[in-house]
Amino acid sequence: MTFAHLWQQGRWLRNATVTIDPQGQVQSVHEQGAAGRPGTPPGQIVPGLTLPGMPNAHCHGFQRPLGALTQRAAGGDNFWSWRETMYALAASLDAEALSAISARCYLELLRGGYTRVAEFLYLHRLDAARLGALEADAAVAAAASLTGIDLMLLPTLYQYADFGGAAPRAGQLPFVRGTRQFLDDWRELLRRYPADGPVTLGVAFHSLRAVNIDTIGTVTATLSEEPRCQCLHIHVAEQMSEVENCIAQHGQPPVALLASRGLLSARWALVHATHASTAELEQVREAGATVVLCPTTESDLGDGVIDIGEFLLARGSMAIGSDSNIGRNALDELRVLEWSQRLSTRRRNVLADPQQPAVADRLYDGALQGGARAFGPQMGASAADFVSFDGPSGDWSSLESRDYLSALMFDSAALQAQQVMVGGRWVIRQGRHAHEEQIETHYRETMRRLGRIQGE
């Protein structure tokens, strides 16, 4: 496969021929230069600008419908009030609805430049009594299979409403599991999703509010020798009240508490860390853990702005995620990240690096590397995952190649990938997905049905 312009580690290759093996791994990349390979038919050259597909390290696919439903003021709106609408949506979902919503979300993520997704899944049983079969994972896996996105399932332990073992609220009950049940469910997932299959597995803890620190330690130790558990994820320090309550309960803020218990390592991904201190971020960096930032969701929820500049300058690991899916485009996430830093520091090009002065290239490369770490060692760096944006996407064709990615990230409106390859297989060609009509119809029918349910 030959790409007209292929970005690789901060450099654009002209007429780059990529050799892909039957397992969907890149074997070699050879630049032909401006002249191209003699005799290559134009139809065999992918036009436009091609990037390596971005890993989406944090996603709640079921929250996709919330965007427009949560933008009307009701007085005192904040993260905690937003949760009430999210709880109502979660309570209304059956397996069919979850699959339809997730498929629509995943197709949009593919168009937005993501080729793999870590689904932070605290839904598990979807019947009204929450006592039936484990089915949420199967609904999500079916959606991923239909769209072609690469899926990592992160079954999520969720037990309490707040620090100190506060009883879960009614809206949280669909997420709650005992520790023994969670580990039994984990063993069932190992059976359902074999090691050589398309779905990989990790484990998530919702937060230090929702899971006691001792339980996190116990589950982590139990799974420490399990090779199929690729990684460990947790929401952390997203809200100031969470930090304050953690200090009141444990005498330490969240990241410091995890570090004090020996729970930070390269296997860990800490989602948000918005209100982590400079010292805590240094603990994350020293442990080799990854911070997963979700700037469009963090902006939408009013979480705050992380002070991430020094962490990145010190070569801390950073990934991105779509989280609530208010934004579903990888380049948008990185643009909002840089813009948030500009607003908080009143400077420009804040996250540039002395070795990489182009912010777009620096952030994209960093998020690729951090995303790979957040997915664990099995991901590797050689998967044939590519996303291509055609000529109309910005003014790149009139620029020097060093500014191509800047044009895509900072100067292109409503950017959508026209060609998407996952694991060596095309899932979107010339802007079309083979199942897009089916996905759209099913989603629309589901939203109409949920609207009737919520209106009763």
Q: Does the annotation mark 385 as catalytic? A: no
Domains of the chain: total = 2
* Residues 139 and 43 placed together within one structural domain of the fold: no
**pLDDT, average across residues 281-309:** 98
* 60 catalytic per annotation: no
- 217 and 103 inside one domain: yes
Dist CA 419 CA 278 (whole Å): 40
Percent of the chain with pLDDT strictly greater than 90: 89
- Assess whether pLDDT exceeds 60 at residue 46: yes
Residues 146 and 213 in one domain: yes
Residue at 270 is within a domain: yes
Q: What is the pLDDT of residue 456?
A: 47
User: Is the same domain home to 129 and 150?
Assistant: yes
Residues 346 and 250 in one domain: yes
Are 89 and 107 found together in one domain?
yes
Lowest mean pLDDT among 71-75, 196-200, 338-342: 71-75
Q: What is the mean pLDDT of the chain?
A: 94
Q: Which of 347, 375, 403 delimits the end of a domain?
A: 375
Indicate whether 340 and 244 sit together in one domain: yes
Looking at residues 347-362, what average pLDDT do you find?
A: 96
pLDDT of residue 37: 63
Q: Which of 5, 233, 272, 442 is catalytic?
A: 272
pLDDT of residue 362: 97
The verdict on 178 and 327 lying in the same domain is yes
Question: Is 248 found in the same domain as 224?
Answer: yes
Q: Note whether residue 347 is domain-resident.
A: yes
* Same-domain pairing of 260 and 392: no
HSE-CB at 44 with a 13 A cutoff on CA atoms is 11
Model confidence at 228: pLDDT above 80: yes
**Residue 269 placed within a domain:** yes
In terms of pTM, does the model score above 0.75? yes
Check whether residue 209 and residue 278 sit in a common domain. yes
Given 375, 406, 441, the domain boundary residue is: 375
Any domain includes 219: yes
Instruction: Name the band, by pLDDT with cuts 50, 70 and 90, for residue 41.
Output: low
414 located within any domain: yes
Residue 41: give the domain boundaries: 2-52+384-431
pLDDT tens readout for residues 417-452: 999 999 999 999 999 999 999 999 999 999 999 986
Pick the catalytic residue from 323, 332, 361, 403. Answer: 323
**392 pLDDT higher than 90:** no
Residue 378: pLDDT band (50, 70, 90) is confident
- Whether 396 maps to a domain, the answer reads yes
Domain shared by 16 and 77, yes or no: no
CATH number reported for the structural domain that contains residue 284 in this entry: 3.20.20.140
